[in-house]
Every structure is written in C-alpha cells, then in structure tokens.
Structure 1
Amino acid sequence: MKRLIYMLLATLLIWGSAGRTQAQVRQLTMENAVKLALDKNRDLQVATLETTKSAQKVVEARSYSLPNVAGSAQYLYYFNKQVSFLPGSFVGLPENQLATFRVGGSNALLGGIAATQPLFQAGVRSGIKAAQIDELATGEALADVRASIVTDVKKAYLDVLITQEQLRLQQQSIARNEQALKDARSLLAQGRASRVDTLRAFVTVENLRPTLIQLTNRIGITKTVLKRTMGLDEQETIDLQDSLRYDVSLFALPGNDAYFEAVQARPEVRRLELIEKLNREQVAIQVAERQPKLSAIGLAQSQSQANNFRVDEYRWPVSTYLGLQLSVPIFTGYRTNSRIQQAQITRQQTETQVANLKEIVRAQVKIGLANVEEARLRIETQRQTISVAELSYRITRDRWKQGIASRLDMSDAELSLTQAKSNYLQAVYDYLTATVNLDKVLGRIK
C-alpha cells in the first residue's frame, strides 16, 4: 500500500515538473528578440548558405587556370584480333593487292595519365574577377536580408506592445464606466438620477466588452507573427519586457547629407552597383570567346597485349609526349556576337536600375524623415490633450454627481479621455515604427 502511494506521489511530481517545464515563459526584450532572430530566422540561414555557395564559385573560377590531370585505364578482349594491312609485294602478291595480317593478343590493357595546363585563356581572369564580385554582391544581399529581418522583428515587437497597451487602455475605460454605473445605481437609489441614466451606463459598459475580447485575441495573433519572424516554435510562450516609451534622445536624426549617407550605407544599393560591375565582366568574358586559347598538353601511357592472363609476364612499353595545343575560333554561327550583345544589354539595364534605386532612396529618406517629425509633433500635442481631457473628465464627473451635468456629458468626457490616450499611444507607436523604418532607409542596421 505504501509503495503504491509512493508511486502515485512520484508520478504527480513528474507531471508537475513537466507542467512547469512546458509552462516556462521566455522573457524577451527587443534587443534579445533581434538577437534570436539573427540566430534562428530561416530566411537568414538560407541567405548565409548562399554566401558560402558564392565562395565556392570563386574556387571553381580559379580552377580553370590550374592544371587538369586525368588518369585512364582500359581493358579490351578481342574475339577476332586486330587486322593490319601491308603491300602485297611483302608476301609475293601483286602490287595492286594488299595483304592482311591479324596482330596483337586477345587481351589488351592500356593505362595512362594525361595533363593539360592552360597557358593563355583570356576569359579565365575575367571569370575569376566576376566570381569575386558575385561573392561580394551575395554578401550585400545577406546584409539586406539581415536588415529586413531586424526591421520586421522590431515592428512585430512594437505591434505586440501597442496591442497590449490598447488592451490596458480598454480595461481602464471599462473600469471608469463600471464606476460610473455603480455611481448611477447609487444615485438612482437616492432618487438623484433617472433609470435611463443607469441603463445607459450599463449599455456603455457592455458595448466595451467585445472590443476587450478582440484585443485579447489580437495579442495572440501579433505574438504568433513575432515568433514566426524570429524563428521560434509556435508553442513557445513569450513575455515582452519592454514598453511603448517615447524618448527623443534614443534616436539620432541624420544631418543634411542624409541621402548620401543612405546611398553609401544601403546594402541593396551597393549590391546593385556590384552587379553592374559583374555585368561588365560578363561582357569581357563573352568577348574573350573570340580570342585563341593556348594550352600545354602531356601524356604518359603504357600498354600491353597477350593471349593469356599471366599479367606478371606482360611487357609494358611506355610512350610519352609533351606539346602545345592551340585553338582558334573561326566561325561560331554568330553565337558569340549574340552573347556579347545580350551581356551589354544586361549591363545597360543594371545601370538604369541603379539610377532608379538611388531616386527611390532619396524619396524614402524624405518620407521617413517627414514621418518621424510628424509623429513627434503629434506626441507633443497629445500630451497636452491628455492633461486637458483628464481634467475635463474629473470636473464633469463631479458635476454629474452633483446633478449639474447630464449622463451624456459624462459619456462624452470619458470618451474624449479614452480617445486622447489612444491617440497618444498611436502617436508613440507611429514614432517608434517610423524610426525603425528610417534606420533601415538610412542603412544604419548592420
């Protein structure tokens, strides 16, 4: 009996421990969220692998300037031995006839090593340079993906924060209206308020509750988006430690040369400029196809034939040679000219894309600065509005309790206070989101 009790207690302890493990909550600041995303985000992992692949392309391009050595081996069995032809006079036949002889063994073995060393190939150097430029461009693409992920994580984090703050604001509004309902019932009992005021207060409270449910559900949705962006498991529970806070000192506005700062720092601009250089090298590679190619070639070969399989008795004569091989293109059916034209058109397209992207960056910088300033001004305005709305609410509530103000005045004052706080909250959110976007526009995310 005691053993059974101990087993039950042990089982309960294990279940309790498992429950606590599953219920562990990951505490997240925005900085930690960004670090986790840079470590776990799958898009970033794919981009990182792409840079590794680009490095291997450089190795491949360099290999075309190195020797190419190949070994070969061959075994042949002749059911009918090879035939050689000799003039008929060798065996007493007329001159106009040929004599045939079967020579060699039934088993033929052949082995050798061949080597080729490029001496002059105009496209090799351009190919290496193109691969190196492509590696740099891939690195800039990785930096662009990294900047996008950091921006997305910060914005998703802010989405959760504002939803939580909106929920808290809604709870405060419900609390104020519930207090108003309590006061209305008290005044009704004293005969100082009408039944209509009490019913109106009750309806107001109940009308606010569906929004509370919506905001609670939206918090779960925004946290799901944040976890997906970070690369966390959907089942993991997170708790955000930061809050929506306005501090103008945390963001440094750029100077008058903001556009030039953005153009020099934006990874997508640098990537497109590198692609433009890459396209120039592609033109050079295609032009090089018109040039002759010179290589050194060599061969060491041994062969033997016999009618048996006593390999130890075979004789292995060796033949070797070393020479030069020249290849001169004469006519390729206009294929080379067409490829050169295609490469030149691609280069022109990239030049246009670079110019267009720089104009887009100019517009983004202007819009980003305007959004930050507009949100900052709204914050300053809404701060004063909240103070006035709170004073108005307190005065109207006191007047209503004294029977001087109507229930409608009370509702309007409470709605104005809630709206003022909501507008301030939205302004702070817009300011923080605008600074995050502007950091990406200016290329400040490293």
Structure 2
Amino acid sequence: MKKYLLGAFILWSSFSLAQAQQVVELNLNEALEYALENNAATKNARLELLISKATIKETTAQGLPQLTGSYNFDYNPKIPVVFLPNQPPFGDPTNPSDVLPARFGVSYSSGLGVNLNQMIFDGSFFVGLRAARTLEELTNKDLQKAENDVVENVKKAYFGVLVNQERIRLAVANLGRIDTLLKETKALYEAGFAEKIDVSRIQVQRNNIYTQVQRSQTALEISKQILKVQMGMPIEYDILIQESLKEINAQEDVMQLMSDQGRDRIELEQIATQIELTGLDLKNNHAQYMPKINLVGNMRRNGAGNELQTVFNSNNWFGSSLIGVSMSVPIFDGLAKSARIQKNRIQISQLENQRMYLKENFKNELYTAKSNLRNDLYILEVQKENLELAKEVFEIARIKYQEGVGSNLEVVEADAALIEAEINYLGSLYDSLISKVNLEKALGLLKADLTN
C-alpha cells in the first residue's frame, strides 16, 4: 500500500501543472497506480480492512478488566411505608389495627461507587479473538480481489482509448488521402480528362470518411470517460495517453503468457479463509457449553440525610466493598447451540462444494482464455496481412488511374476495401488485447507487474 501511495504522490507531482489545464498525461502503469488508490471499490476495501483491525482491538478488550463508575443522588418526597405486625410485645394496644405503619428511610440519599469485572475463563473469548484475526485476513484478501478487478477494468478501458486513438489516426490519414484524390480528380475533370460522376463518386467516399472521423472522435471521448470512471479520476480532467499500441502489445510478452502456469487465484484464498472462519464459529458454539468464570468486585460509599445540607456531611457517609468470583454454567437452552453447530457444519460443506466448483471453473477459464488469445492472435495476423494487401491494392489502383489505364471506380472501391481492412484490423487488435487481459486474470497475474 505504501508503494501505491508513493506512486500516486509522484504521479500527482509530475502533472500538477498539467492539472491547471485539466490535462493529465499518463501511461498504463501510472493509470493503474492511480486507480488502485482512487477507485471507490479499493478505497472501501481498505476502509473495511481498517474496520477489521478495529474489530481485533474490540475483541481483545473483552478480556481486559472492565471498570465502571457510578453515582446517584435521590430525593424521596414521601418515604415508603413498611408495615409491621401489631403484636405483643412490640405492638401498640391503643391501635385497633393489626398492623403498624412505619417509615424506614430518609428524604435524601447519595452514593458513589466503582465496579470491576475481570474475565477469568471464557472459552468463546479465545475463539473470538482468533476469528477476528482471521476476519482481518479475509478483508485483506477482499482488498486484493478488489484491486484485481480494478486492474482488469482499467486495462480494458485503457486499451479502448488506445484503439480509438489509432482509429482516429487512420481515419484522418484516410481523409487526407481521399482529399488528395478528390483534388486530383477535380483537376482532371476541369481539364476534360474525367467525368462529373468520377468527382461525385469520390466526394461521396470523402463524406463517408469524414463521418467516420467524427464518430471516432465521439467514441474516443466516451472511452476516455469510461477510463476516468474506472480510475476514480474527476471527469473535469482530460487524459493524454503517452503510449502506443505497439509498446504495450509486445509479442514476447504474449508468448510468455501462453506458457505461464499462473498463480493461485485470490478467489480460492477467499473461500479457504471463509471456511476457516466458519470452522471458528463452530468452535465458538462448542465453547458455549463450557462455564464462564469472572472475577467481580466493587467499592462504594453511600450517604444520606433528612435535610439537603446534611447529605454531604462526612459523618453521614459510609463505605462498603465486595470481591468475589462468579460462575455461570449453561444447563439447557432448548437445543439452540446444537442447531447452530449443525448449521455451521452445513455451511462448511457448502463452502467446500463452492471451492471445488471454483477450481474446476478456473481450469476451464484458463483453457478458454488461452484458446481465445491464440485464436485472436491468429485472426490479428490475418487482418494485418489483409491490411497490407488492401494498401497495396489501393496504391496500384491509384497509380493505374493516374496513368489513365484504370477507372475511378476501381480507386474508390480499393479505398473502401482499405478502410474496411483497417476497421477489421483494429477490431482484431482490440479483441487480442482484451483476451490478453482475460488470460492474465485466469493466470492470477493481473497485479504481478505492479507488485514486483
């Protein structure tokens, strides 16, 4: 966590001036480090970890001495009446009633005391303390899971921005190419070497490409907004990506992933910790059958008086104290503890089944991720070859048209085929990047590059 805080501090320092213009320059690692510190999910997971640490302190406090102070001040407008039998030798023969009313007490009374309670033996206390520490382990694993999810989402959003930037670059290049062709065709038309339909055909193609540029601009802005949301960055800032697709899609990295055996998934560690927690709850319910022994003690001083000014007279105050041991032994609770124990055992069986299911599911996920990446890389190579061929076809068609041995229609069709090849290539490139992230997730390696 300290590493992330330091990284975030360096990141903010590096573009503090850029923030004044609401522009943030970053690469993938900087985006991930920023997201790990600022995404709402990871922030809440870290707060949950702090809560679990406080829970350990709270549980530990139950085994420490418990001291409480008390003070009271009472006024009796009417002192309660106690009835005594009117019988000899203490009876009143002049009173015809068989009882005698007597008032025992004073109008004002006050007291000050301190009570002590110290646990001597409670089987559930030590189990609860261990459970609190295990809960901290679980929340720490929950934090790791939240960080993995953030890394996955940020990477996918980041790649979306890169692909849209590349799409704009290609669309602008297409627009420049078609503008040049349109200018040349207009010149040929004015010189009488081309027909009006040739100009119109290229103009239509130019309008289509211009529309594509506008759509790509909108898609880029949307993808940036998605990335900022995943990072936890304010939407007021603009994002400027420093990397290119080639820099983050090295072939050797992909090949290394395909041969990697991966690590244990954090989800399995979460399940294992949940099983341990449920087992501790089972032990706690067994411990409820054992007696509880406490040391108790108190010291108290009480004072009283018939008049308010005499209540606090030192002659009217008297002290008392007590020290002893109390023990409570459970006898019968209607089989409630037995029911809780049975429930714990069933919960452990459920978690064991879930762990078994996850293990098999993760094996399938890994196989699927490697198969998808392998297939996407193959399709990417095919689309890359198609793109090179489309460029070659367009150049040939353009040269033939300029030399007067080709038609304008061939050039427009070749340009449309080139644009389609570019779109297919970028789509395949994005699919391969997403498959790469999915494989990193299946291998349990999403955060490996950040924790090394």
2:287 paired with 1:288: yes
2:31 counterpart residue number: 33
Give the Cα–Cα distance (whole angstroms) in 1 for the partners of residues 115 and 259 of structure 2: 65
Aligned to 2:251: 248
Tell me the alpha carbon deviations over residues 203-251 of structure 1, each in whole angstroms, 9 at most, x when there is no partner: 1111222222111111111111111222222111221111111311245
Q: Decide whether aligned partners of structure 1 residues 90 and 228 sit closer, same or farther in structure 2, where only a CA change above 3 A counts.
A: farther
How far apart, CA to CA, are the structure 1 residues paired with 2:75 and 2:190?
118
Q: Which AA in structure 2 matches 1:439?
A: E
Moved more, 319-328 or 140-149: 319-328
Give the Cα–Cα distance (whole angstroms) in 1 for the partners of residues 259 and 232 of structure 2: 38
Greater alpha carbon shift after TM alignment, 418-427 vs 48-57: 418-427
Deviations along 1:47-101, whole A, 9 cap, x unmatched? 111110111111222222222221212222223335566675562569x977654
Paired residues for 1:189-200 under 5 Å: 189-200=190-201
Secondary structure (helix, strand or coil) at the match of 2:71 reads: strand
Q: Which residue of 1 aligns with 2:296?
A: 297
CA contact (8 A) 2:268 2:358 kept: yes
Shift of 1:390: 2.2
Output one character per residue of 1:184-209: Cα deviation in whole Å (capped at 9) or x when no partner: 22333344333322221111111222
Q: Distance in 2 between matches of 1:205 and 1:254?
A: 42
What is the CA-CA distance between 1:174 and the residue it aligns to? 2.1
Partner of 1:111: 112
Contact 1:91–1:99 under 8 Å retained in 2:
no
SS of the residue aligned with 1:317?
strand
Alpha-carbon displacement from aligned partner over 1:309-339 (angstroms, at most 9, x marks no partner): 2313333322222222121222223332332
State the Cα distance separating 1:277 from its structure 2 match. Answer: 0.9
Check if 1:54 corresponds to 2:55. no
- Conservation of the 8 A alpha-carbon contact between 2:293 and 2:327: yes
The 3 A distance-change label for structure 1 pair 90 and 106 is farther
Spell out the pairing of 1:47-196 with structure 2 (5 A cutoff).
47-81=45-79, 88-89=87-88, 91=90, 101-196=102-197
Report deviation, 1:116.
Answer: 1.6
Distance in 1 of aligned mates of 2:384 and 2:285: 65
Partner of 1:161, secondary structure, is helix
What secondary structure is seen at the aligned counterpart in 2 of 1:193?
coil
Specify the alignment match of 1:385 in structure 2.
386
Alignment of 1:279 with 2:278, yes or no, is yes
- Residues 379-388 or 160-169, more deviating: 379-388
Distance 1:327 1:152 in 2: 55
The residue aligned with 1:3 is none
What SS class does the counterpart of residue 71 from structure 1 fall into?
Answer: strand
Indicate if the aligned counterparts of 2:22 and 2:236 stay in contact, CA closer than 8 A. Answer: no
1:89 & 1:144 partners in 2: Cα distance?
A: 85
Measured after TM superposition, the shift of residue 424 of structure 1 is 3.0
Check conservation: 2:161, 2:224, Cα contact below 8 A.
Answer: yes
Given the superposition, is the C-alpha separation of residues 250 and 60 from structure 1 closer, same or farther in structure 2, using an over 3 Å criterion?
Answer: same
Say which SS state the counterpart of residue 109 (structure 2) adopts.
strand
Cα 1:90/1:34, change in 2 over 3 Å:
farther
Once structures 1 and 2 are overlaid, which stretch shifts more, 136-145 or 147-156? Answer: 147-156
Using the TM superposition, name which of 344-353 and 184-193 deviates more: 184-193
Question: 2: CA distance between counterparts of 1:431 and 1:235?
Answer: 31
User: Aligned AA for 1:179?
Assistant: T
Instruction: Please say which of residues 373-382 and 206-215 is displaced more in the overlay.
Output: 373-382
- Alpha-carbon distance between aligned partners in 1 of 2:314 and 2:205, rounded to the nearest angstrom: 109
SS of the residue corresponding to residue 111 of structure 2 reads strand
The 3-state SS of whatever aligns with 1:314 is helix
* TM-score (ref. length: structure 2): 0.85
1:166-194, Cα deviation, whole Å (9 max, x unpaired): 11111222222222222322333344333
1:247 maps to a residue whose letter is A
Structure 1 window deviating more from structure 2 (408-417 vs 147-156): it is 408-417
CA contact (8 A) 1:29 1:242 kept: yes
Q: Which amino acid aligns with 2:360?
A: E
Q: Structure 2: which amino acid aligns with 1:26? A: V
SS of the equivalent of 2:435 reads helix
Alpha-carbon distance, 1:159 to partner: 0.8
Distance 1:24 1:300, change over 3 A: closer
Residues 217 and 90 (structure 1), Cα distance of their counterparts in 2 relative to 1, 3 Å cut: farther
8 Å contact kept, 1:244–1:429: no
- Quote how far apart the aligned CAs of 1:255 are: 7.2
Q: For residue 44 of structure 1, report the CA deviation from its aligned partner.
A: 1.6
| Inter-partner Cα distance in structure 2 for 1:193 and 1:209 | 24
Alignment of 1:400 with 2:401, yes or no, is: yes
2:245 counterpart SS class: coil
Partner of 1:268: 267
The answer for the alignment partner of 1:10 in structure 2 is: none
Do the aligned partners of 2:35 and 2:230 also contact (CA within 8 Å) in 1?
yes
Q: Report the alpha carbon displacement of residue 376 of structure 1 after superposing the two structures with TM.
A: 2.5
Name the CA shift for 1:158/1:206 in 2 (closer, same or farther; >3 Å).
same
Match of 1:11 in 2: none
Q: Secondary structure at the match of 2:49?
A: helix
2:433 match: 432
| Contact 2:19/2:237, CA 8 A, preserved across alignment | no
SS at match of 1:285: helix
8 Å CA contact 2:305–2:316 kept in 1: the answer is no
Contact 1:283 1:344 in 2 (8 A): yes
Distance 2:383 2:209 in 1: 23
Which ranges in structure 1 are unaligned for 5 or more consecutive residues? 1-19
1 CA distance for matches of 2:260 and 2:408? 56
Partner of 2:3: none
The CA deviation string for residues 279-336 of structure 1, in whole angstroms up to 9 with x for no partner, is 1111222232232222221122221222232313333322222222121222223332
Shift of 1:274: 0.4
Report the 3-state secondary structure (helix = DSSP H, G, I; strand = E; otherwise coil) of the residue aligned with 1:234. Answer: coil
Residues 291 and 90 (structure 1), Cα distance of their counterparts in 2 relative to 1, 3 Å cut: farther
